[in-house]
Structure 1
Amino acid sequence: MSNPIPSLSQNTFLRYFNFIALYVAQGIPEGMAFFGIPAWMAMNGKTPGEIGSFVAAVGLPWSFKMIVAPLMDRFTYLPMGRRRPWVLFGQFGLMLSFIAMSFVPDPLNNLNLFMAAGFMVGLFGSIQDVATDGMAIDIIPIHQQAKANGFMWGSKIIGTSVSLAIGSSLLNAYGFSAAILMLSILVCLIMLVPLFLREREGERLLPFTKGEASHETKRMQLTSWSVIFRSLYRVCSLRNSLLFGMIVFITQGSFNYIDTLIPIFTIQALGWTDQAYSQFYATATLIGGIGGMIIGGALIDRYGKIRMLNIYCLLLVTLISMLVFLKIYWLESWFISAFMVIYQVLYVFSTIGIFAIAMQCCWKKVSASQFTLYMTIANIGRIVGAKVIGPIKENFNWEYTLLFFGLMILFAWFIMQFLRIPVHVKKIADLEENDNPVQMPAIT
């Protein structure tokens, strides 16, 4: 008897809906952990070093994704799908850890426990992220990946901005615990999406329900550690893989640097309240997210990934330079809010382009592990970006501290000029052609 709800492999709308929901679920806790809570901490007099340490604690587990990804490639419960059991595990843990964060007593004066709770939110968020990306690579047809990437990152930005706006209002009105608990309800509701949507027809919804593993997932599943790591090494040691890893590290470190710095700058240097910052920034991220969903992927498809990233990088350098050299307008809220909006649009468009390149650089055989390796490098960069704020601000004024972001982006743009994606794709094709199909079954 057929299932009343089509599987993800059968229905395009449900595919997009599933990944939009899962990325919104990531954005809700991240909006508070990376933006709302740092602004709240700044409002309550915490130092840039303390705030940066909290952000780094939340971001640290994301650097462990490279450990998780091979486990997902190697182990799973195929009757429920190749990636879906891991998606459910990550989403359930994210839900519980976010709830647990709300019960940290006096978090502003109990920073070690507060950072530990943030670490757990980051841990399960990273597990859900790896599983979701792996599911996307397995399920989404190649011709839909660019559009899906725009939807996924746009929805994450929207989830971040909405949670930031609502969470900051709740934080000021009802206090920390109530605010986090109320946002946790949304994360719980999203759990229903992967719970009722199968990857492929005939699979089980839960371990005790009827269903069986599909032929396709059995064929894709890797069973050898040596195959996984040998293939991963061969593709990641290619020249363009190494260059792209450097670009990912620098760009994502730059983005987290400015994302962590802006709430500190607006509150401690310009005298904004945390709620005013959150409202302005949430609006900016919402605009960026919607723009990414509507036209971000389309621009890349039409004009090319490298060309558009070159334009975005140069526009980001121009934007931060204008902020620095037009200091006379810093006290004008329209000027800072305009900066936030333009920055968010460029950030979302740049991220869509970078991650689209990451997908194109992956060898299908180990695409989940390779894509996760790129994301791990990105998140190590984000941790470094947050941690360098304290030392830089202690030694330089606000103008130079802000301008450092532009210098990092300019360095990434310089490296990008040596990236040759068509050459990389050709080398992957050569690896595939020379590979032993018996020892290394291809993932399609």
Structure 2
Amino acid sequence: MINLIRPYLSPRVYPLLLLGLASGLPLALTGGTLQAWATVEDVPLTDIGFLTLVGAAYTFKFLWAPFIDRYVPPFMGRRRGWMALSQVLLGLTICGMGFLDPSRSLFWLAALATLVAFLSATQDIAFDAYSADVLRPEERAAGAAIRTLGYRIGMVVSGGLAIWLAAVWMGWGGMYLFMGLLMFGAAVLTWLAPEPEVAGANVAPRTLYDAFTVPFQEFFSRKGAISILALIVLYKLGDAFAGALSTTFLIRGAGFSPEVVGAVNKILAVIATIIGALIGGGIMSKLGLYRSLMLFGLLQALSNLMYWMIALNPQNLPLMALGVGFENLCGGLGTAAFVALLMALCHVQFTASQFALLSALSAVGRVFVAGPLTPPIVDAYGWPVFFVFTFFIALPGLLILWFMRASIKALEKDPAPASDTGD
């Protein structure tokens, strides 16, 4: 047990918990929490629907990630400087939202929320790059797990907890002011966090043109680059298919009430994901990156069959809770290993650009494949057959992983290959 905890005690690992919380905090403030505020203030439904566009910045953050690589703030270094700057600006803009009323100033509130989303995405770019740069190779597993935990806590704080604070204590404006003050506190934590040790962490590309082009050139010059991209797209594709309509399945296909499904998904699923990520970090420190990716990938595939069992045994609450818990536990394990893989693949000079691009690529399967294809498959074959299908759709990613085992094992010892494109 001590050996599983030890990786989290590193001075480069444990700060990522609170920094991850700061990264996850703004998300709900421009999403579900903002929609709840607008709903309470009797804003028309069509206008509330308009607010869903606010979060588009998170999808397109790879477009300005090269700027984060190219320009170095005059304080705290290339990664921490951008983190602190975005956190201070987030504090100001979130506090600014607290002075507005959605029933009277919806346009200006939406404009500020859009700015918050942009700044939050910028913080994410810098934080992802910082996490990859500050961690030693043997610490990536624990670092990926602890930042996932922090991010989830941040979402809970700005989601359910924020709504409760607004409803029973501070009011909506006071709650947003409080959340803004938390972001100022995050800037102090960033100042106290250690600077990356790796050589070249503060060496920026020569020009903005280089910042936009060289990360691609460097990545595609590597042996097996196309296989790496295929692995990133396919590794969690089976998991994405299984989760695409999981709530709809539990209500319509398995016959559970929305209240029961909401309680299980909001409480049990989150707890299981966090536990999975933390356990995954400890296990990875012993097994290494390749073996952990393979083990956790197999567990992810097998966990999808729990939904198949639920589909064959509808309205079985213990089975449903067990299935949802196990699936999210395995998803947390896989996420910890997958984030560690993305960190290992990034070149230190272009971490912001490459991490943003690789993480965006990892969403391709979830957004453009699993989402659109799940409904017609379910309509044609039914839920039980669909969940068996999700098991088999997870296997190609594991097959690619097996073929790339030598390359992945090499990443466990050394970061992504260096190049001479910098100084």
- Give the equivalent residue in structure 1 for 2:271: 286
Gaps of 5+ in 1: 1-11, 39-49, 204-215
2:188 to 188, 195, 214: 195
Kindly tell me: are residues 235 and 186 of structure 1, through their superposed partners in 2, closer, same or farther at Cα, counting changes over 3 Å? same
Aligned partners of 2:386, 2:102: CA distance in 1, in Å?
A: 33
Q: 1:224 aligned to 2:212?
A: no
1:264 to 248, 259, 265: 248
Q: 1:70 aligned to 2:66?
A: yes
**177-186 vs 393-402, which moves further:** 177-186
Kindly tell me: are residues 219 and 309 of structure 1, through their superposed partners in 2, closer, same or farther at Cα, counting changes over 3 Å? closer
Q: 1:383 aligned to 2:364?
A: no
Kindly tell me: are residues 350 and 140 of structure 1, through their superposed partners in 2, closer, same or farther at Cα, counting changes over 3 Å? same
User: Once the 2 structures are TM-superposed, how far is the Cα of residue 55 of structure 1 from its aligned partner?
Assistant: 12
User: Once the 2 structures are TM-superposed, how far is the Cα of residue 124 of structure 1 from its aligned partner?
Assistant: 3.9
Give CA deviations for 1:345-377 in whole Å, capped at 9, x if unaligned.
111111111121222222233233222221121
Structure 2-normalised TM-score? 0.73
User: Once the 2 structures are TM-superposed, how far is the Cα of residue 72 of structure 1 from its aligned partner?
Assistant: 0.4
- Give the equivalent residue in structure 1 for 2:151: 156
Kindly tell me: are residues 325 and 144 of structure 1, through their superposed partners in 2, closer, same or farther at Cα, counting changes over 3 Å? closer
Q: 1:241 aligned to 2:237?
A: no
Structure 1-normalised TM-score? 0.70
Aligned partners of 1:262, 1:32: CA distance in 2, in Å?
A: 25
- Give the equivalent residue in structure 2 for 1:137: 132
Q: Name the SS of the counterpart of 2:186 in structure 1.
A: helix
Aligned partners of 2:95, 2:381: CA distance in 1, in Å?
A: 36
Gaps of 5+ in 2: 1-8, 36-45
Aligned-pair identity (%)? 19
Aligned partners of 1:290, 1:275: CA distance in 2, in Å?
A: 21
Q: 1:82 aligned to 2:75?
A: no
The residue type paired with residue 141 of structure 2 is: A
Preserved CA contact (<8 Å) 1:253 1:386: no
User: Once the 2 structures are TM-superposed, how far is the Cα of residue 223 of structure 1 from its aligned partner?
Assistant: 2.8
**84-93 vs 355-364, which moves further:** 84-93
Q: Name the SS of the counterpart of 2:315 in structure 1.
A: coil
User: Once the 2 structures are TM-superposed, how far is the Cα of residue 131 of structure 1 from its aligned partner?
Assistant: 0.8
List aligned pairs for 1:199-348, cutoff 5 A: 220-228=203-211, 229-252=213-236, 254-269=238-253, 270-274=255-259, 276-293=261-278, 295-348=279-332
Aligned partners of 1:376, 1:261: CA distance in 2, in Å?
A: 21
User: Once the 2 structures are TM-superposed, how far is the Cα of residue 71 of structure 1 from its aligned partner?
Assistant: 0.6
Give CA deviations for 1:86-130 in whole Å, capped at 9, x if unaligned.
22454456664798699666xxxx9xx999999776544432211
Q: Name the SS of the counterpart of 1:82 in structure 2.
A: helix
Kindly tell me: are residues 329 and 418 of structure 1, through their superposed partners in 2, closer, same or farther at Cα, counting changes over 3 Å? same
**16-25 vs 28-37, which moves further:** 28-37
How many residue pairs get matched? 393
Kindly tell me: are residues 27 and 423 of structure 1, through their superposed partners in 2, closer, same or farther at Cα, counting changes over 3 Å? closer
